[in-house]
Structure 1
C-alpha cells in the first residue's frame, strides 16, 4: 500500500479490511516522513509501528464507522 491509499482508508467513513502479515489490523496513525503507520492488531490488540508499504488493502468494506 502507498501513503495516499493509507490516508484514504483512515479518513473513509467505511471500515476497510487491511492486513499486515496476513492478519487484520486497524491503522491508528500515519507518519508521512518515515512512511510508517502505527497499527493495532485486531486479533491480539498489540500496537506496533510498521512500514505502510507492508500493509495490504483488501478493498473489502466490512462496515461503517460510527461518527
Structure 2
C-alpha cells in the first residue's frame, strides 16, 4: 500500500469519549477491548491500516477486518 487510505474513517466517538472508553477498559483489565480501541484511536489520528495495526501489535490481515 502506498500510505493512503482506501476508505474513510467515520468518527462515532469524540477523542475524549474514546479515551474514556479506553481508560475504563484498562481499569476493568479487558485487554481484548483495549487493543481494538487503541487501533481505532490510531485510525482517528490519521494512521493507515498497516501503521495502526503495527502500533498495537495486530496483523495486517486482522486490521483490515
Q: Say yes or no: TM over 0.5.
A: no
What TM-score does the superposition give when structure 2 sets the normalisation length? 0.29
Larger radius of gyration: 2
Question: Which structure's relative contact order is higher, taking Cα pairs within 8 Å and 6+ residues apart?
Answer: 1
The structure in which a higher percent of residues are helix is 2
Greater fraction strand: 1
